[in-house]
Amino acid sequence: MGQDLAVDSAPIGTATAGPHAERLSKLVTAQRATVDRDTGLDLYRDMTLGRRFEDKCAEMYYRGKMFGFVHLYNGQEAVSTGVIGAMKRQHDWFCSTYRDHVHALSAGVPAREVMSELFGKETGCSKGRGGSMHLFSKEHHLLGGFAFIAEGIPVALGSAFTSRYKRDALGDASSNAVTAAFFGDGTCNNGQFFECMNMAQLWKLPIIFVVENNKWAIGMAHDRATSDPEIWRKASSFGMAGEEVDGMDVLAVRAAAQRAVERARAGEGPTLLECLTYRFRGHSLADPDELRAEEEKQFWAKRDPLKALERDLTEAGLVNSDELRAIEKDIDSIVQDCVDFALSAPEPDPSELTRYIWAED
Amino acid sequence: MAGTLLFNALREAIDEEMGRDPHVCVMGEDVGHYGGSYKVTKDLAEKYGDLRVLDTPIAENGFTGMAVGAAMTGLRPIVEGMNMGFLLLAFNQISNNMGMLRYTSGGNFTIPTVVRGPGGVGRQLGAEHSQRLEAYFHAVPGIKIVACSTPTNAKGLMKAAIRDNNPVLFFEHVLLYNLTEELPEGDYTCALDQADLVQEGTDVTILTYSRMRHHCLKAVEQLEAEGVSVELIDLISLKPFDMETISRSIRKTNKVIVVEECMKTGGIGAELIALITEQCFDDLDARPVRLSSQDIPTPYNGSLENLTIIQPHQIVEAAQALVNKGI
């Protein structure tokens, strides 16, 4: 869709929407995933859950039900759904950042567990000890939300190393789990990114470095922070496969992720996948979002990934709008249910304050 | 006497544990083909292959974090810090992820890792290579910290550390690798949380660890000759402290000296004496004495370096003063 989308968006000039928008406008999508009706509905459902869950978080935050730093994912849903949807849940591994709610949901962590974690409740996926930026689920192979920039990448590399170790050192031929490490454009100026890119390619580890380039590292514009804004090109320095993709187009992300997963499972090593995307809200709910230009926001709002998928699915005749409205209604009840669940869930037991420090507890 | 060098005792421990459990692996700089900068992993790559004894690029933050991820997904990595000081570059991974992640994840993951390597003040290695990180890492929750001091405890502690399901920071001392000792026969481990009662005595308790154990032994010899009976305890476990053994000794001698190689401010002794004051105050007949390194970067010059760390004669003098002072 990439190229076509940009042409469709004629009313807003890319010059005023900035260089990130200009890049997206010029991007030619190599190949988009072909999906059947069921898959299309699954993708739409996953993205809708991500969007509406986050909208509910904002509401709950402003109503004083959750605290701390809360970073919402609105606008970037095509990346989480596109990548994780192309992988095997509870088999492959997923590693996230402080903006981790939607990755957790896409990985299959129940909305009740995520929402009650945000409420700090015992029923949360991290038992109320982690909070918004530290969602974990061993059951759903979520290695975690890592709150410091780039620190999750080496951890993700470790799980990719385990896959190879099991195959080649332990002789388990079936060991083919791939790890997806999600992080942002700001992270790509950090040493751990480069250290791990090198090791991943050196040892041909099954990992996908998924850059969610949303242009903004809080208030630092990407092109003000990095000498070459085209992050995917850095892959070539390591002899690694690199690709840029329209991160507002779930079918484009899915196709690119499928290629990367295939490479990784075949033992051909890692991929650096740069998804051009945008966050529709401020950096966190504490960010007044005064810095970003209105023209820029409008450019990306017109590329809302949910609307794009709806257009794709309906124009292809796979689904009709009523079915999608029904999904939204269904999701709304799931989101309301998880809030009700979280509100009535128990607080952690104060007598267990020091539990979980040690492996034996 | 046929004996085993300390670095070989460590090597035996790693070798035996790698043979026992295929999930145990080693990663770090020059651990493989080169055999480790102090030869603790010599020939292990040949025996177990390059993947199990993984030569990493010089990227401490990256490979330490990789060990965390590998541990979370089922392996039991041993990370070598070629010099423990280099692990300052991995402080975030050791603190946030090795130490805190199990708690933060509400018990989702365990991180069975050992981070080992040489620390301490060597012979004119300069400030950066003469660090005592045990004090820096002491405040990190969720990490066990041990320091070995003899070939026997080096092997037993290493095996226990590898088998432990928690992250263990394992401090070796750059000047102790060539100590020789006859090792116990067969498969043995040493408890990670128990102090070693090196010598029983009645007049004063000396608490120490790592290389300072040997400085203390020299001092004890002289003190014994002078009729001072010293109870010498090697802490072994720097976190948590074995307060049971420590308290029992203080109840007996009523006097305590802490001898450490780390710097005085924010050091191991600082925390230890705070605990002794809290828990053993009524058993003390005199104020606790702390003998620590100077609060300075370790100077290169040999004489200045000697002045930076505690020497045996200072331990003798401190013990004499404490014992002679009476109540």
Structure confidence by residue, pLDDT tens digits, A213-233 = 999 999 999 999 999 999 999
Residue type present at position A196: C
Q: Quick one: fold of B196-325?
A: Rossmann fold (3.40.50)
A115-128 pLDDT, tens digit each: 999 999 999 999 99
Confidence of residue B295 (pLDDT cuts 50, 70, 90): very high
pLDDT of residue B2 exceeding 50, the answer is: yes
Return d(Cα B69, Cα A100) in angstroms, integer.
17
pLDDT of A96 > 50? The answer is: yes
With respect to residue A81, please indicate whether it lies within any of the assigned structural domains: yes
Q: Check pLDDT > 60 for residue A33.
A: yes
Q: Which of B51, B105, B141 sits opposite A130 (nearest CB)?
A: B105
A219 vs A222: CA distance, rounded Å: 9
Which among B61, B108, B164 is the nearest to A136, CB-wise? B108
User: Which B-chain residues 139-158 have CB contacts (< 8 A) with chain A?
Assistant: 141-142
* DSSP string for residues in A20-71: HHHHHHH----------HHHHHHHHHHHHHHHHHHHHHHHHHHTTSS-S---
| Cross-strand partners of A144 | A95
Contact A151 B112 (CB under 8 A): no
Q: Number of helices and strands (H, E) in chain A?
A: 14, 8
pLDDT of residue B109: 98
Q: Are B25 and B53 in contact (CB under 8 A)?
A: yes
Contact of B322 with B203, CB cutoff 8 Å = no
Please provide residue B234's backbone torsions phi and psi, each rounded to the nearest 5 degrees: -90, 120
**Inter-chain CB proximity A155 and B68 less than 8 Å:** yes
Instruction: Look at the block and give the residue holding tokens 């059947």.
Output: A36
Residue from B103, B144, B237, B239 whose CB has the most chain A CBs within 10 Å, to mutate: B103
Q: Which residue of A has its CA nearest to B165?
A: A359
Q: Given an 8 Å threshold on Cβ–Cβ distance, is B96 in contact with A151? A: yes
List the end-to-end C-alpha distance of chain A, in Å, as a whole number: 51
Do the domains B196-325 and B4-181 match in fold? yes
pLDDT in the model for residue B263? 97
What CATH code is carried by the domain that includes residue A248? 3.40.50.970
What is the count of residue pairs from A and B with beta carbons less than 8 Å apart?
A: 155
Task: Provide the angle, in degrees to the nearest 10, between the axes of the packed helices A250-265 and A305-315.
Answer: 90
B101 to chain A, any CB pair closer than 8 A? The answer is yes
Amino acid letter, residue B17: E
Tell whether B163 is within 8 A of chain A (Cβ).
Answer: no
Q: What is the per-residue pLDDT for B327?
A: 45
Query: What confidence score (pLDDT) does residue A14 get?
Result: 58
Taking the Cβ of residue B300 and every Cβ of chain A, the question of whether any pair is shorter than 8 Å is answered with no
A158 is a domain residue: yes
Cβ within 8 Å, pair A137-B108: yes
Average per-residue pLDDT for chain A: 95
Partners of residue B111 in chain A, C-beta under 8 Å: 359
Q: Which of A143, A198, A356 sits opposite B102 (nearest CB)?
A: A356
**% residues pLDDT > 90 (chain B):** 98
- Residue in B241, B123, B236, B89 with CA at minimum distance from that of residue B172: B236
Beta bridge partners of B169: B115, B145
Q: How far is A157 from chain B (nearest CA, A)?
A: 5
The yes-or-no verdict on residue B178 having pLDDT over 70 is: yes
Residue A277 lies in domain: 2-342
A359 to B75: CB separation less than 8 angstroms, yes or no: no
* CA A189/CA A8 separation, integer angstroms: 33
Listed residue (A192, A347, A154, A206) closest to B101, CA to CA: A154
CATH for the stretch B4-181: 3.40.50.970
Q: Which of A114, A203, A357, A360 to mutate to test the interface with B (most CBs of B within 10 A)?
A: A357
Q: Tell if the CB–CB gap between B62 and A157 is shorter than 8 Å.
A: yes
Model confidence at A73: pLDDT above 70: yes
Option in B62, B110, B141 nearest A196 (CB): B62
Crossing angle of helices B151-163 and B6-20, in 10° steps, is 30
Mean pLDDT value of segment B171-181: 98
Hey, are the CB atoms on B71 and A199 less than 8 Å from each other? Answer: no
Contact B75 A162 (CB under 8 A): yes
Q: Is the minimum CB–CB distance between B100 and chain A shorter than 8 Å?
A: no
pLDDT reading at A12 higher than 70: no
Task: Compare CB distances from A195 to B61, B97, B141 and report the shortest one's residue.
Answer: B61
CA-wise closest residue to A204 among A258, A263, A156: A263
Q: CA–CA distance from B131 to each of B86, B100, B105 (Å)?
A: 9, 24, 32
Contact A143 B72 (CB under 8 A): yes
DSSP lists the bridge partners of residue A145 as A96
Query: Please, which pLDDT band fits residue B325 given cuts at 50, 70 and 90?
Result: confident
Rounded to an integer, what distance in angstroms lies between the CA atom of residue B103 and that of residue B112?
14
Asked if B91 has any chain A CB less than 8 Å from its own CB, the reply is no
Amino acid at residue number B237: S
For residue B11 the two structure tokens come to 């090597």
Q: What percent of chain A has pLDDT over 70?
A: 96
Pair A245, A274: CB distance under 8 Å: yes
Average pLDDT over residues A176-201: 98
What are A248-299's pLDDT values in tens digits? 999 999 999 999 999 999 999 999 999 999 999 999 999 999 999 999 999 9
Q: Which residues of B are catalytic?
A: 60, 129
**Chain A nearest CA to B97, separation (Å):** 8
Count Cβ atoms below 10 Å from residue A148 Cβ, excluding itself.
16
User: B163: closest CA among B78, B63, B101, B234?
Assistant: B78
Instruction: For residue range B80-104, list pLDDT tens digits in order.
Output: 999 999 999 999 999 999 999 999 9
B64 and A166 within 8 Å at the Cβ level: the answer is no
Q: How confident is the model at residue B326 (pLDDT cuts 50, 70, 90)?
A: low
pLDDT at residue number A15: 60
Whether the pLDDT of residue A4 is over 60: the answer is no
**Lookup result for tokens 């993708």:** A43
B237 vs A: CB within 8 A: no
Helix A250-265 × helix A37-62 angle, to 10°:
110
Residue of A nearest to B166 (CA): A359
Q: Is A212 left (phi over 0), alpha (psi -120 to 50) or beta?
A: beta
Inter-chain residue contact A151 with B65, CB threshold 8 Å = yes
3 state SS for chain B: CCCEEHHHHHHHHHHHHHHHCCCEEEEECCCCCCCCCCCCCCCHHHHHCCCCEEECCCCHHHHHHHHHHHHHCCCEEEEECCCHHHHHHHHHHHHHHHHCHHHHCCCCCCCCCEEEEEECCCCCCCCCCCCCHHHHCCCCCCCEEEECCCHHHHHHHHHHHHHCCCCEEEEEECCCCCCEECCCCCCCCCCCCCCEEEECCCCEEEEECCCHHHHHHHHHHHHHHCCCCEEEEECCEEECCCHHHHHHHHHHHCCEEEEEEEECCCCHHHHHHHHHHHHHHHHCCCCCEEEEECCCCCCCCHHHHHHHCCCHHHHHHHHHHHHHHCC
* Cα B4 to Cα B182: distance, rounded to the nearest angstrom: 6
Inform me whether the pLDDT recorded for A13 exceeds 60.
Answer: no
Distance in angstroms (rounded) separating the CA atoms of residues B138 and A283: 34
Alpha-carbon B311 to chain mean position: 19
Which chain B residues are closer than 8 Å to A120 by Cβ? Answer: none
Reported confidence tier of residue B1, pLDDT bands at 50, 70, 90: low
Separation between Cα atoms, residue A106 and residue A71, nearest integer Å = 16
Residue A2 has pLDDT above 80, yes or no: no
Strand partners for B170:
B116, B146
Element (H, E) at A145: strand A142-145
Cβ neighbours of A154 in B, within 8 Å? 61-66, 68-69, 93
Give pLDDT, residue A16. 80
Instruction: With CA atoms as reference, report the closest residue to B96 among B111, B118, B80.
Output: B111
Residue B288 has pLDDT above 80, yes or no: yes
A126·B104 Cβ contact <8 A: yes
Question: pLDDT digits over B242-266, tens only?
Answer: 999 999 999 999 999 999 999 999 9
- Nearest Cβ partner of A144 from B63, B105, B112? B105
**Domain locations in chain B?**
4-181, 196-325
Number of domains in chain A: 1
Averaged pLDDT, B109-117: 98
